[in-house]
Amino acid sequence: MNQAKKLIPAVLLVLVAALGLTACGSGGTTNGGGAQAGSAAVPTIVIRNGEPVGGIEKLEYSAGEDIRFRVKSDIAEEVHFHGYELMKDVPAGGTVSFDVPAEIEGIFEVELEGEKEQIAEITVNP
């Protein structure tokens, strides 16, 4: 029993360290908005002056996963997720979220419709 009491703090320390590393994440988007697809954080594409900060965001998913991303924009625009034919309006200074099952495989463009500016490339693998 005495050995078990000594082991508990060590086990707790390992768990806390593991949770801390998980919370930090390992990858990131080029726009600094979140972790890579498939992790807990949702990637955010930041739009400044009608263009994606850091260039076109490339996001990759596997069929059956949820395609999740946000668009934060300093201008009011319609965001069009081609192929999945989803369109959402983002207000100036606002954020819009996309969350859809990855049911169609291929490579898809996300565009600021009025600006005709590609902001993301979504790849859905089999």
55: left (phi over 0), alpha (psi -120 to 50) or beta: left
How far, in Å, CA of 71 to CA of 52, rounded?
9
pTM attached to this predicted model: 0.68
| pLDDT score at 3 | 52
Per-residue pLDDT, 81: 98
The answer to whether 104 and 85 are in contact (CB under 8 A) is no
Q: Please list the pLDDT of the chain residue by residue as tens digits (126 residues).
A: 555 455 444 443 443 344 343 333 333 333 444 344 445 589 999 999 999 999 999 999 999 999 999 999 999 999 999 999 999 999 999 999 999 999 999 999 999 999 999 999 999 999
Residue 57: which of 84, 28, 86 has the closest Cα?
Answer: 28
